C-alpha cells in the first residue's frame, strides 16, 4: 500500500513539472550507465526528442521487416494480451493505482507474487529503457516514462509497440518472430488459441516454454481464455473450442 501511494504521489506531482525534461534525464542516465564513456552517437542522441529516442529503442529491438502494423494484428490477439496483463488498459492512464493496490493485496494474502501491478505502458518503457532491478527509484522512473509515453502515443500505438517488442521465449522478440517461430504462420493468421498461448508466455517465458512444459503452457493459455470470457471479449463456446485445439507447434 505504501509503495502504491508513493508511486501515485510521485506520478501526480510530476504532472506539474516539465515532463519531457524528466523523461529525457532518465533515458540519458540509462545511456551513461551502459557505457563508461559516451560515444559520439550517444552524445547526439541527447539532442533528440522523446519520440526520437523511442524510435531508436524500437529500431534496436525489431527490424523494419519484422515490424507488424497494428491494423493487421487480429483483435483477439490484442484482447488476449489485455485480458491477462492489463484488463483496465483502456480505462486508466499510464499507471493503474487500483491495479497496484489489488496486486499488493492479492500477493500479501497469498504470501507470494501472483499478480503484478504494472500496466502495459509501464512494461513497454521498462523493456525499452530501464533495467530489470526491482528498486523504488526504478519504479518511479518507470511511472514518469510511462506518463511521457501516453502523452505522445495513443493506446493503440503503445499496444502495437508492446506486441512488437515483448519477449516470448526461445529468443523470439515480438509478435512476428513468435508467430513464425512457434506456429509457422504470420501474425495476421494467428488463431484464437495461438493468440492466447502467446499472451500467456511473457509472464514466464522460460518456465512456460510449450516445448518443455506443454501442460504448463496449456494451463496458462486456459487462464487467458477464461479471462477473455470474463471480460466479455469472447464466448465460453469460443474459449472451449480454442482450448481444445492442438497448438500445432513447429518442430524444433
Collapsing DSSP states into helix, strand and coil, what is residue 193? Answer: helix
> Is position 40 within any domain?
yes
**Grid cell digits, residue 50:** 522523446
- Are 61 and 125 spatial neighbours (Cβ–Cβ below 8 Å)? no
Neighbour count for residue 55 (Cβ, 10 Å): 13
β-strand partners of 167: 173
Q: Would you say how long the chain is, in residues?
A: 252
pTM of the model: 0.79
Residue 76 CA to residue 78 CA, distance in Å, equals 5
What is the spatial distance between Cα 83 and Cα 34, in angstroms, rounded to a whole number? 34
CA distance 176 to 18: 36
β-partners of residue 173 are: 167
Please report the pLDDT score of residue 118 as a whole number: 86
- Domain for residue 234, yes or no? no
Domain assignment present for 102: yes
Separation of alpha carbons 178 and 66, rounded Å: 11
Contacts of 213 (CB under 8 A, 6+ apart): 207
- 181 within some domain: no
Contact 251, 240 (CB under 8 A): no
Q: Is residue 8 part of a domain?
A: yes
Residue 19 lies in a domain: yes
Q: What angle do CA 156, 160, 162 make, to 5 degrees?
A: 115
Whether residue 178 lies inside any domain: the answer is no
Return the number of other C-beta atoms located less than 10 Å from residue 240's C-beta. Answer: 12
Q: Which residue range(s) make up the domain with 111?
A: 1-62+93-154
Asked if residue 208 lies in contact with residue 216, where contact means CB atoms within 8 angstroms, the answer is: yes
The number of folded domains in the chain is: 1
244 assigned to some structural domain: no
How far is 162 from 127, CA to CA, in rounded Å?
A: 9
Torsion angle (degrees, nearest 10) of CA 189, 193, 194, 197: 150
pLDDT tens, N- to C-terminus, the chain (252 residues): 444 444 444 444 445 445 556 665 655 555 455 544 455 555 555 557 889 989 999 999 999 999 999 999 999 999 999 999 999 999 998 887 776 676 566 656 656 544 556 899 999 999 999 866 665 577 788 889 999 999 999 999 999 999 999 999 999 999 999 999 999 999 999 999 999 999 999 999 999 999 999 999 999 999 999 999 999 999 999 999 999 998 889 987
Amino acid at each position: 500500500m505504501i509503495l502504491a501511494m508513493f508511486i501515485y504521489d510521485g506520478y501526480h506531482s510530476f504532472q506539474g513539472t516539465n515532463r519531457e525534461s524528466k523523461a529525457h534525464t532518465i533515458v540519458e542516465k540509462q545511456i551513461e550507465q551502459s557505457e563508461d564513456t559516451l560515444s559520439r552517437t550517444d552524445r547526439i542522441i541527447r539532442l533528440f526528442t522523446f519520440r526520437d529516442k523511442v524510435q531508436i529503442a524500437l529500431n534496436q529491438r525489431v527490424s523494419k521487416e519484422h515490424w507488424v502494423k497494428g491494423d493487421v494484428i487480429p483483435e483477439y490477439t490484442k484482447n488476449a494480451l489485455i485480458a491477462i496483463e492489463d484488463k483496465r488498459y483502456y480505462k486508466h492512464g499510464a499507471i493503474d493505482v487500483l491495479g497496484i493496490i489489488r496486486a499488493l493485496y492479492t500477493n500479501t494474502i497469498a504470501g507470494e507474487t501472483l499478480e503484478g501491478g504494472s500496466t502495459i505502458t509501464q512494461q513497454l518503457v521498462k523493456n525499452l529503457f530501464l533495467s530489470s532491478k526491482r528498486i523504488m527509484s526504478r519504479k518511479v522512473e518507470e511511472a514518469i516514462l510511462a506518463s511521457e509515453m501516453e502523452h505522445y502515443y495513443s493506446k493503440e500505438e503503445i499496444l502495437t509497440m508492446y506486441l512488437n517488442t515483448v519477449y516470448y521465449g526461445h529468443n523470439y522478440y515480438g509478435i512476428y518472430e513468435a508467430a513464425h517461430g512457434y506456429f509457422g504462420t504470420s501474425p495476421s493468421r494467428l488463431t484464437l488459441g495461438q493468440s492466447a498461448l502467446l499472451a500467456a508466455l511473457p509472464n514466464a517465458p522460460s518456465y512456460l516454454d510449450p516445448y518443455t512444459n506443454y501442460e504448463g503452457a496449456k494451463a496458462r493459455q486456459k487462464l487467458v481464455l477464461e479471462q477473455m470470457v470474463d471480460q466479455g471479449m469472447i464466448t465460453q463456446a469460443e474459449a472451449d473450442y480454442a482450448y481444445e485445439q492442438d497448438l500445432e507447434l513447429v518442430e524444433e
